[in-house]
Amino acid sequence: MQAQIGRSRQAVTLTASVETSPGSGVFVADPRLRVSEVTLQSDADISTARFDVLLDNDFDVAAARSRYLADLRVVVRTNEGNGDVLFEGYPPIQEARWHGGPGRGEESFGFTARHVYERLSRDRRSWIYGRQMRSGAIEDGLQSLPSVFASKSVLVTALPCVFNPDDRANRAATPLTIAKHDGSTVSVPIFSGDDDPSAVLWTHGDALRYLVWFYSPQEGPVFFGNVFDEPNSSSRLAARLAAPCTSLNCEAVNLVEALSLLADDAGIHVTVDTIGDGVGVRSSFRVWASGDGVRRPLHLVRGGVHADGTARFDASELSASDVFRANEVARAVIRWDDARIVNAPIVLGDVKRYEMTVPLVPGWIPTVNLDNVAVQDRASSRALALTPATVAVLGDSASQSAWFSAFHADGDDFFANRFVARRWVLNEDGRFDGATYNRNAPFDDYQPFDFATVASNEIARAGEWTRRTRAFEPTITETPEGARFGVLIELSFDSGATWQRSAGGVRILADPAGILFDADNPTQVTPTGIDPAEQNLWFAIIDQTMRVRVTAVMAGDERLVADVRPNDSATPTLVTTSEVINRAGTYRFASRDGTTNVLKSTNPTGEIGLDDTAAIHRFGQSLAAWSQDRRVIASPVVPWVGTVFGIGDEIDQVRGRGVSFVTRRDGELAGPVVVGKRFRVGNGRFETELILMHDDGGTI
């Protein structure tokens, strides 16, 4: 059985070493330590190791507590010297047990060590608050001494560490350039302000490098590993790191938590691997994605006999190494689970949005000498208004004017009249009723705004959209040069014959949807190049020629939804089972087709809009194909301390039992991956349990 002993030799000689002094990096094998279990984990789960301590008359519990200090690292290797390193950590949790009952005098001592990665969760330097940015002095310095200031940033605690809040870019376009000791450089992204027009979107890779650079001390205990390496361009890892973050909030968390949040958002994994480094050890980050690892089978040959009585697997003629090669799994519990089948998933995207041009109506109660003024009285009504020039001439005596007191921002009664002439609304929810607000034509029939008047039947049939508040959102149309319009507000002083963009001083209202002219004096709002004494907002309202329209993106009443039907030929059950999956931040729809839109002439042929309809249906179909397979759930145990199966490896089957773990997802076959390993040693047992997880996050 020499081959069998050789196969399990590493387990038999498993050793533990203890650091000679805190931080020395020198480890000495400790014969009093017995390793009973090592559990290696990924992401937010911290690896641990359990040790038993050999006590005797010369080394009791008190001596053990003095020997195994919480700041002395312990290392587990597969043999003495420079064997495979399984674990490096600190022993913060110690436990003594004794039993002093009649006829008994039992005493034991042990401790649980946590991986050095756990130290980062308590290290002051790993806590994240604020964001690293360039101050004004640094930005000025970049102009005069770029080589000196290229690596400079400051911590701004007034702004939170949120990557792409509400999908708004807030990464500085120019990263830091850090010079390394070997003469090479590394680029480290940093933040800008949330309203920086030159900002770019953070990718998951950018956020990863930012977090690790600023919050993982360069002297350890965990080193950078592959964080700053460029992944294979065709790998899943590269694609997921290149995707933008979606409101990734890492404020007031430690680095361990932040990397777990990022990994969950990106669909990747963060593992800390520990390897031998000369006579010492070194723990480093390893970032990986499911499906990029090695695909391996497990072997468990089928026992019993064939119908003719011959053995299915006859070990009598095989060497021990052949037996072990054919049986990597000592035991396993395998369960086929139809209860988790989802063959008709419903995927929810974002609300459908449409760019359109809509007319606004006065949002104030009809006012004497402004609304409903007869033709013969209009001149006298206009004369009551004080233009900016008149106010300047009158000086302090302007306040004696009743018009100034009511309608000028400095008037005593302005607050009660602050909406008069200034607020124009869409009335999309119908709160502005005709009994209160009807006035001169064309504003003589107040009704809830009907979107069917500006949209085709495919978008909004007459009266079908719900009457609720809808905010004006920035337009999606761009000029041929790529410029945006924001929310476009246009004014007409001649009953809609000509239109011009508002020159400013206008606030966008959200509830109700509308605008508010912010001018101190409503007569300040005039046609371009026209003196207020000739024409202005107030005069045009009196003359019944004032019109206001807005071009903006508005939310519809429907979401982008993929409602996938089961494939009866492939699903193990004919029962339709569904689950709602919310992907509002991923799949979107914004269009200007089929609407009244004055901006179409600005860029009539450009590809304007965003339509993820096909993408969300592909995702839904992929989910159905992935989830309609019955889940094969297993807990495989390898009968030795095995280092062949690495974290990130994909397990596709158990050979010899006809058990396949592979299902289809995104058009490719995929099995569960190893996200952790548990080594158990003692009482004649040497084994490795594989912790498997499907790519959707479910541990099996």
| CA–CA dist 57, 677 (Å, integer) | 36
Query: Over the Cα atoms of the chain, what is R_g?
Result: 36
8-state DSSP, 377: G
At 388-409, the pLDDT tens digits run: 999 999 999 999 999 999 999 9
What pLDDT does residue 699 have?
41
Residues 173, 258, single domain; the answer is yes
At 548-569, the pLDDT tens digits run: 999 999 999 888 888 877 665 5
The token pair that represents 396 in the structure block: 């302090």
Answer yes or no: is 277 within a domain: no
8 Å CB contact between 203 and 171:
no
What pLDDT does residue 348 have?
87
Residues 310, 397, single domain; the answer is no
| CA–CA dist 562, 621 (Å, integer) | 9
CA nearest 609: which of 658, 553, 689? 553
8 Å CB contact between 133 and 159:
yes
Answer yes or no: is 404 within a domain: yes
| CA–CA dist 630, 675 (Å, integer) | 21
Q: Is the pLDDT of residue 83 over 90?
A: no
| CA–CA dist 154, 157 (Å, integer) | 9
What pLDDT does residue 516 have?
96
The domain that contains 14 carries what CATH number? 2.40.30
Q: What does the pLDDT average to over 23-45?
A: 88
Answer yes or no: is 644 within a domain: yes
Q: Of the spans 32-46, 197-211, 627-641, which averages the highest pLDDT?
A: 197-211
What pLDDT does residue 4 have?
35
Q: What does the pLDDT average to over 646-669?
A: 59
Q: Tokens 């026992």 correspond to what residue?
A: 303
Using alpha carbons, list the distances in angstroms from residue 76 to 69, 285, 647. 16, 19, 17
Of the two residues 517 and 572, the one the predictor is more confident about is 517
* Least reliable range by pLDDT among 243-257, 532-546, 596-610: 596-610
Of the two residues 495 and 623, the one the predictor is more confident about is 495
Burial label for 640, CB within 10 Å (0-12, 13-18, 19+), is buried
Query: At a CB cut-off of 8 Å and minimum separation 6, what does 375 contact?
Result: none
Of the two residues 97 and 431, the one the predictor is more confident about is 431
Residues 88, 181, single domain; the answer is no
The token pair that represents 352 in the structure block: 């459908």
Q: Is the pLDDT of residue 11 over 90?
A: no
At 304-325, the pLDDT tens digits run: 455 666 654 444 444 444 544 5
Band of pLDDT at residue 370, cut at 50, 70 and 90 = very high
8 Å CB contact between 89 and 74:
yes
At 49-67, the pLDDT tens digits run: 999 899 888 888 888 888 8
Answer yes or no: is 282 within a domain: no
Q: Of the spans 101-115, 375-389, 482-496, which averages the highest pLDDT?
A: 375-389
Residues 97, 225, single domain; the answer is no
* Least reliable range by pLDDT among 156-165, 237-246, 443-452, 478-487: 478-487
| CA–CA dist 694, 220 (Å, integer) | 31
Q: How many helices (H) and strands (E) does the chain have?
A: 15, 39
* Least reliable range by pLDDT among 39-43, 277-281, 502-506: 277-281
CA nearest 94: which of 71, 72, 70? 70
Answer yes or no: is 590 within a domain: no
Residues 107, 132, single domain; the answer is no
Q: What does the pLDDT average to over 637-652?
A: 72
Region of 454 (left: φ > 0; alpha: ψ -120 to 50; beta: rest) is alpha
Q: Is the pLDDT of residue 632 over 70?
A: no
Kind and range of the H or E run holding 257: helix 255-266
Residues 155, 96, single domain; the answer is no
In 3-state terms, what secondary structure has residue 253? Answer: strand
What pLDDT does residue 626 have?
58
What pLDDT does residue 508 have?
93
Answer yes or no: is 176 within a domain: yes
- Inter-residue long-range contacts of 439-443, CB under 8 Å, 24+ positions, other chains counted: 439/362, 439/366, 439/371, 439/372, 440/371, 440/372, 440/373, 440/544, 441/544, 443/361, 443/362
Of the two residues 575 and 110, the one the predictor is more confident about is 110
Residues 141, 244, single domain; the answer is yes
Q: What does the pLDDT average to over 632-638?
A: 62
Helices (H), 543-687: 613-627
Give the end of a domain, one of 92, 115, 138: 115
Average pLDDT of the chain is 82
Q: Is the dihedral of CA 168, 186, 219, 38 positive or negative?
A: positive
What pLDDT does residue 3 have?
36
What pLDDT does residue 372 have?
95
Of the two residues 660 and 381, the one the predictor is more confident about is 381
What pLDDT does residue 168 have?
86
What pLDDT does residue 82 have?
55
In 3-state terms, what secondary structure has residue 501? Answer: strand
Give the end of a domain, one of 115, 137, 158: 115
Burial 266-286 (b: 16+ CB within 10 A, else e): bbbbbbbbbeeeeeebbbbbb
Residues 220, 264, single domain; the answer is yes
Burial 204-219 (b: 16+ CB within 10 A, else e): bbbbbbbbbbbbbeee
* Least reliable range by pLDDT among 92-101, 123-132, 366-375, 647-656: 647-656
In 3-state terms, what secondary structure has residue 270? Answer: strand
N- to C-terminal Cα separation, the chain: 35
Question: 500-501 and 506-509 as β-strands: parallel, antiparallel, unpaired?
Answer: unpaired
The token pair that represents 139 in the structure block: 């930005």
Distance of CA 557 to the CA centre of its chain: 26
| CA–CA dist 539, 382 (Å, integer) | 6
Residues 255, 299, single domain; the answer is no
Residues 300, 419, single domain; the answer is no
Query: At a CB cut-off of 8 Å and minimum separation 6, what does 502 contact?
Result: 489, 490, 491
Share of the chain above pLDDT 70, in %: 80
The domain of 168 spans: 124-270
Whether cis (ω within 30° of 0) applies to the bond prior to 672 is no
Return the beta strands (E) in 373-470 as ranges. Answer: 423-425
Kind and range of the H or E run holding 144: helix 136-144
Q: What does the pLDDT average to over 410-422?
A: 96
What pLDDT does residue 77 have?
86
Helices (H), 370-512: 378-384, 388-394, 402-407, 434-437
Strand partners, 283: 222, 274
| CA–CA dist 614, 618 (Å, integer) | 6
| CA–CA dist 476, 179 (Å, integer) | 41
Burial label for 674, CB within 10 Å (0-12, 13-18, 19+), is buried
Residues 232, 304, single domain; the answer is no
Answer yes or no: is 578 within a domain: no
At 451-468, the pLDDT tens digits run: 999 999 888 877 788 998
Answer yes or no: is 581 within a domain: no
Residues 20, 80, single domain; the answer is yes
Instruction: Report the domain count for the chain.
Output: 4
CA nearest 51: which of 72, 74, 34? 34
What pLDDT does residue 625 have?
64
Whether cis (ω within 30° of 0) applies to the bond prior to 442 is yes
Distance of CA 7 to the CA centre of its chain: 44
Q: Give the phi and the psi of residue 620 in degrees, each rounded to 5.
A: -60, -40
Q: Is the pLDDT of residue 668 over 80?
A: no
Q: Of the spans 110-119, 206-215, 275-284, which averages the highest pLDDT?
A: 206-215
What pLDDT does residue 698 have?
41
Give the end of a domain, one of 83, 115, 147: 115
